[in-house]
A and B are shown apart, each in its own frame.
Chain A
Amino acid sequence: MTNLVLFLVLAVVAVVTALGMLLSRNAVYAALFLVLNFATVAVFYILLEAPFIAMTQVTVYAGAIMVLFLFVIMLLGAERLPGTEPLPWQRPLAIFLALVLAVEAGYLLFARRAAGGMFASAAPDFGSPQAIGTMLFNRYLLPFEVTSVLLLVAMVGAIVLTKKEKGGRE
């Protein structure tokens, strides 16, 4: 029963933050709501016994990707983008949702560690970095190598698209 309550509270936070992103007029607020949403999803991953993925979610998605988004919004000048004033309900809502998330994540991490997951308990190393690493470098070796090529392409592309040509028109 408590499990269901925990799930529902988190689900509400996830849906409301997603709606917050959808309805924000300001790109910065949209990005911050999305960060909150990604953090909520990371808590779900912990509930689902995927600690490595949860950590990656926080570092890659919330950390790297969304920071890049915010960086670009600031670079373009958020004040020059239309609709910069925050809507009146946004600030209290964001604070409230963040508090709910923090309380629940703290409760899950510290108070309930011994109580087991939401499913019948899995093998002790299920979802551990070691188990994932073994999978990645054995069964999923080829896809792993393909992602390395993909990241190289993305890097080349980002440089090609933003580098100013010597003597170019800009």
Chain B
Amino acid sequence: MTQADLYTLLPLIVLVIWACALLLVDLLIPRGRKGITAFLAALGLALTLGLTLAQVSAAGTAFQGMVVLDGFARFVNALLALTGLLGVGLAYGYVRRMGIERGEYYTLLLFSVAGMMLMAQAADLIVVFLALELLSIPLYILAAFARPKETSEEAGLKYFLLGAFATGFVVYGIALTFGATGTTSLSGIIAAASNGDAGLLLTIGAALILVGFGFKVAVVPFHMWTPDVYQGAPSAVTAFMAAGAKIAGFAALLRVFGLAFSSLSADLTAILWTLSALTMIVGNILAIAQTNIKRLLAYSSIAHAGYILMAFVPFGNAEVLPVSVAAGVFYLVAYTLTNFGAWAVVIALEKAEGRGLDLDDYAGLGRKYPALAAAMTVFMLSLTGVPPTLGLVGKFYLFRAVIAGGFYGLAVIGVLTSLISAYYYLRVVVIMYMREGEPERVSEPWLNLTWAASALAVVLISLVPAPLFAWASQAVFALF
């Protein structure tokens, strides 16, 4: 282990050490004052974010080719640290209000962020596999964190069983890939695949890995767990899970499929096309019937997984792929901000025992709390893809890249499903402004900051998106 190795993983190592230390420090913090733990966790994440941004000189691979530091890893790591910060911000007041305030919440969240960051830097399938587990296992526990509440325990168990099932597919896929290429290193797989001595075994392996990741990022037809888990898990966990797991899954898809398996594009492009289209269609159509806001956002998250997956459809086309992946990364930023904002509003209206989660509970919000309703309107518009929001810009870049790759049908499906989604997103807006009601909201400083800042960011960045897109493109282009 050299200094270069340490430098490559510095933010991650600091985060893990911080989390371990926090586990001990938390013992000294008396019950009822766990806000201090939350503050310390946020401090650790801020430190990680700072270190990530400071890693300007890219160092290449480290730890004998196990991990890599490049522009993409930096960009995604920064986004993940931000996700963690927003996750802590949402949880701070929520866990206290719901009576589940325990210091381990924040420690587990830090470990999960560490797993996601490791995923973004993985250069070997062993590391991909371990990172997947390191990010998932804390999420299983967090989903069940509101025990002995039955819905939360159920969510945890369902998430766990399907997650473990998905792991089985990933491991078997990796085993076949290893058999086909004789190596687990991603660069080794590229070399072996380009020699053309891989064949059917590699294709089956890649397909099994895709099934495993499909479960993890909730792609139709592997989405069955999502609504139940999103509804049953504590809302603050759901918000973190929806954004974090998607970002990490996207990073893994890029590393494994975009780069290592690019020779398989002839076989896999059609599969990815179908998965992406199905996910957009099914997610958006099932969302229409929902009356519970958590389930509505769950189906919305499935639909968005479909849009993000679109970025990989041109994955054999070396000309278009960098552009579409950059658009996908940009879309992830838009989705992360919008997602946390929307969940912050949900948390502001949620009361104990799962009340305050029906769409009807949002009636009258526009009159009683104009600022909160305005923020929710921004998030709903952004999820639909209506100006002036980041969601529109994200979809624009994404559809443009897909059209450039010649996938007109997919772009048409994307536009049509966005129109369908307008129905249920705008219904929330209509209920907030057109119906009479007496909603009650919770006002907590960190929560208010989260939704207000997210709403501002979603609008302001959409007015000048070019610098962010340039940064995303620069981060991605260096990979190819």
A interface vs B, CB < 8 Å? 138-143, 146-147, 149-150, 152-154, 156-157, 160-161, 168-170
Contacts and interface: CB of A to CB of B under 8 A. Distances in A.
Contacts of B23: 156
Contacts, number: 63
Given A152-B20, A156-B104, A160-B102, A147 B145 contact: no
25 contacts: A139-B64, A140-B66, A141-B1, A142-B9, A143-B124, A146-B134, A149-B114, A150-B133, A150-B134, A150-B137, A153-B108, A153-B111, A153-B134, A153-B137, A153-B138, A154-B137, A156-B104, A156-B108, A157-B108, A157-B140, A160-B104, A160-B141, A161-B144, A161-B147, A161-B156
- Chain A interface, DSSP helix/strand/loop, else mixed: helix
6 nearest A-B pairs in the assembled complex, by CB-CB distance: A157-B141, A142-B63, A146-B130, A142-B66, A139-B64, A160-B104
Given A149-B134, A150-B137, A156-B107, 14 more contacts: A139-B64, A140-B64, A141-B1, A142-B64, A142-B67, A146-B130, A146-B134, A149-B114, A153-B108, A153-B137, A157-B138, A161-B144, A161-B156, A168-B148
B293 interface: no
B126 interface: yes
B248 interface: no
Contact of A161 (B63, B64, B141): B141
Given A146-B131, A161-B147, A169-B148, A140 B126 contact: yes
Interface residues of B, number: 32
A80 B334 CA distance: 50
Contacts of B124: 143
A146 B118 contact: yes
Contact of A160 (B111, B145, B148): B145
Interface string B83-120: 00000000000000000001010011001001000100
B11 to A, nearest CB: 15
- Chain B interface, DSSP helix/strand/loop, else mixed: helix
B104 A146 contact: no
Contacts of A168: 148
Interface of B: 1, 9, 16, 20, 23, 63-64, 66-67, 102, 104, 107-108, 111, 114, 118, 124, 126-127, 130-131, 133-134, 137-138, 140-141, 144-145, 147-148, 156
A147 B130 contact: yes
B63 A149 contact: no
A143 B65 CA distance: 11
Contacts of B16: 149
Given A149-B16, A150-B133, A152-B20, A142 B138 contact: no
Contacts of B104: 156, 160
B145 to A, nearest CB: 7
Contact of A146 (B64, B102, B127, B141): B127
B51 to A, nearest CB: 18
Given A156-B23, A160-B104, A150 B63 contact: no
